[in-house]
Amino acid sequence: MKFPPWTSVSEAADLLKAGEVVAIPTETVYGLAGNAYNPEALAKIFAAKERPTFDPLIVHIADIAELENVARDIPKSAYRLAEAFWPGPMTIILPKKDCIPDLCTSGLPSVAVRFPSHPVAQAIIKKSGLPLAAPSANLFKHVSPTTAEHVAAQLADRIAGIVDGGPCSVGVESAIISLAGDVPTVLRPGAITPEMFKAVLGEVAVKESTSKPGQAMQAPGQCDTHYRPQVPLYFGEVPAGYKLPEHTARIAFGNQAGAIPATVNLSATGDMTEATARLYAYMHDLDTPNYDLILVDPIPNKGIGIALNDRLKRASIKTLPLTD
């Protein structure tokens, strides 16, 4: 095998049809894709990521009409959302069809579905002729990949191929909304904000996620600790008088004052979209033995900043380590 196993769109489609798993680009993060109908391919995804099977997978399609292939009892509200936000960084949870294996949905009667906007992802789905189950292409709970190189660093020797589609434009995982209950409910924030959902649907609830390890989760990305670099990451204000380790990096946002000078800045102008696209890349860049601690500036909790805060809370340590 080539190392890393760089793969073309055509090669990826052939590998997927043969039951292999391949990393593909999307606008959110890189996904580790496999045939959503094939339990053996799904098992390879879980094994490569070291992901527990209680954490369900998202099924990716390349046309709104394909929603009927994987979901049933689809309400009109799903099509209103699809017309507004697909293709794009939105996942809808709906009752599943029997053709979707229980392994894909962690035994739940619902399936998470997305139509990505990345042209390479769409081309691979269409050429394979399959809906593709694709969680983020990284080891479980580690930082999600926003470049093909991030995937290669973690999974190159575990998977059949990697398709390089350039850096991801959005940079955080899709927003997830469930239509499986009485009230549409946002289960994971993303680039599609609760306000955007409300503009289309009216009443929308927002669920504060709480993980119960070992039990099936309603949606991916619900673990209390997730998206975590190996170097401890602390998010928020540093307590007064706390002595930082000598080798501390700071991910700044805007022109805020910090405990130390900025190592990198998510957006010097405070642009939330720019910050979102850069976050995981900076976390990857600073996740090296050169640093003992990573600080991240506070980020306004509004719009897509809600998604940034959600990921950072899951990625961060809750208390700073003791120092001399």
Structural fold of domain 9-206: DHBP synthase (3.90.870)
SS (H, E, C) 215-284: CCCCCCCCCCCCCCCCCCEEECCCCCCCCCCCCEEEEECCCCCCCCCCCEECCCCCCHHHHHHHHHHHHH
| pLDDT tens per residue, range 271-288 | 999 999 999 999 999 999
SS3 157: coil
Question: Which residue blocks in 203-304 are alpha helix, DSSP H?
Answer: 272-286
| pLDDT tens per residue, range 107-130 | 999 999 999 999 999 999 999 999
| pLDDT tens per residue, range 243-274 | 999 999 999 999 999 999 999 999 999 999 99
pLDDT of residue 289: 95
Report which residue type is found at 216. Answer: A
Per domain, the residue ranges of the chain are 9-206, 233-315
Separation between Cα atoms, residue 141 and residue 315, nearest integer Å: 8
Selection from 90, 59, 279 nearest residue 174 by Cα: 90
